Amino acid sequence: MQREEKQLEVTLQAILNRVNDLKTAIQALIAKLENEYETINWPTFLDNYAILSGHLTGLSKILQAEMAPSLRALVVLPLQLGCERDEALSRLTEGRVPACTHDLVPDLLRTKPEPQAEQRLQQFNHKASTLSYDTAQKQVTQFTKVVSHVWEIISKGREDWEGDSMRAAGMQPTHTMTDTHALVTAVGTGKGLRPGMPALPPGVGAPGLGAPRGPAPQLGPAAPAMPKAPSAIKTNIKAANQIHPYQR
């Protein structure tokens, strides 16, 4: 009996220490969210959340240890109820529970959710179980579209903010992400290009670039000219200044 009481005391002390560490981590996270909400970033928030997860994992290991006594076999009962302020209880709970009243004890010793919360949870579970697969997929697709739209808005706002920051620092941006994506898409997939654009013949440069200088290189001995076959197609030769390689 003394051995079991000793194990129970050690286990409760370890649980109490872990709960205090968890409470301290929660208070630190809440303080950061309330005081540093303008400067806190996502990696910092994840680091603080990882600390909470570590404390919860350690608490679960203590409860699942083989040497720990089964707390399910123990019953917690209030020894005295009253409306008068209990200084020892207030000091033990850091001022959260000033008195052990009849209205407070059921909430402290509750092992199930409140009836209203339990009823709403059952309604949600029933609604989720009766939802068809097609309806669920449609809702998931719609939610994905909403998230993608929000992500685009945030990305656009970030680009504008970075551009404003560069201009404020005296650095002019030399590119825009929208034009870069459009150029990569046009080169890779041909999106945005007009179909049926005539190709330039070899040796003819684009307007404004000029023709290539120097004679074309000879790869081998010149072949004899082949006689032209008579053509039955009538051709209409226009002036060179009327031909435009990019005409519509």
The per-residue pLDDT for 197 is: 52
CATH of the domain at 59: 1.20.58.1710
Q: Do the beta carbons of residue 81 and residue 19 sit within 8 Å? A: no
Q: Could you tell me if 19 and 49 lie in one domain?
A: yes
In a domain, 234, yes or no: no
Q: What is the DSSP letter of 139?
A: H
Phi, psi values for residue 18, rounded to 5°: -65, -40
Assess whether 63 and 123 both reside in one domain: no
Give a yes or no: residue 200 inside a domain.
no
* Residues 98 and 146 both lie in one domain: no
- Shared domain for 3 and 68, answered yes or no, is yes
pLDDT score recorded for residue 101: 87
Residue 240 lies in a domain: no
Residue 219 falls within a domain, yes or no?
no
Series of mean pLDDT values for 10-residue runs along the chain (248 residues): 80 89 90 86 87 90 75 77 86 84 82 85 88 87 92 88 71 73 85 62 47 49 50 51 53
- Note whether residue 239 is domain-resident: no
* Per-residue model confidence (pLDDT) at position 120: 92
Task: Check the CA dihedral 94-96-99-103 and report its sign.
Answer: negative
Q: Which of 165, 189, 213 is the last residue of a domain?
A: 189
Which structural domain, as residue segments, surrounds residue 166?
117-189
Q: Encode burial over 45-81: b for 16+ CB neighbours within 10 A, e otherwise.
A: eeebeebeeebeeebeeeeeeeebbeeeeeeeeeeee
What pLDDT, on a 0 to 100 scale, did the predictor assign at position 207? Answer: 47
User: Are residues 83 and 121 both part of a single domain?
Assistant: no
- Total structural domains in the chain? 3
Q: Which of 86, 111, 136 is the last residue of a domain?
A: 111
pTM of the model as a whole = 0.41
Q: Is 200 within 8 Å of 209 (Cβ atoms)? A: no
For residue 14, which amino acid is it? A
Q: Look at residue 18 and tell me if it is in a domain.
A: yes
Q: Is 11 a member of any domain?
A: yes
